[in-house]
Amino acid sequence: MKNYIKEDDPFIVPTDDMKLIEEHFGNASNKHEQCSIARMEVPPRWKEPFQKPDFDEFTLMVKGKKMVEIDGEKIEVSEGQSILIKKGTRVRYSNPYDFPAIYWSICIPPFSLDTVHREK
């Protein structure tokens, strides 16, 4: 038995909002149970509905900016910055800018459609 798991090709998670999700570890790619790790690319003027997930989500910005809305506060996360959103927080992510954004998302426990609790 190996003491490591090497992922050569991330799983491309299907989306309908022009967001590219390349999951390296997690529920969609390899059923990793401790966390999910994914590289994200979002187009200009992209946004998600509010959600209240049952996981902590760490975001590490690689390129561009991302807007995070929590309790009426808008927090801009720029290239080189990071943010942790604690589980149970009502949050909305967006890219209201005229340029794309690239970031890494780490969720503990792993992201799941059953635990993200997106509003409609």
Where exactly are the structural domains of the chain? 13-104
d(CA 100, CA 95): 8
Q: Which two tokens stand for residue 99?
A: 């340029």
d(CA 27, CA 89): 21
Per-residue pLDDT of 12-55, as tens digits, reads 998 989 999 999 999 888 888 899 999 999 999 999 999 999 99
The Cβ of residue 45 has, within 10 Å, a number of other Cβ atoms equal to 11
Per-residue pLDDT of 69-115, as tens digits, reads 998 999 999 999 999 999 999 999 999 999 999 999 999 999 998 99
Beta carbons of 43 and 95 less than 8 angstroms apart: yes
pLDDT for res 33 = 87
CATH superfamily of 13-104: Jelly Rolls (2.60.120.10)
pTM given for the model: 0.91
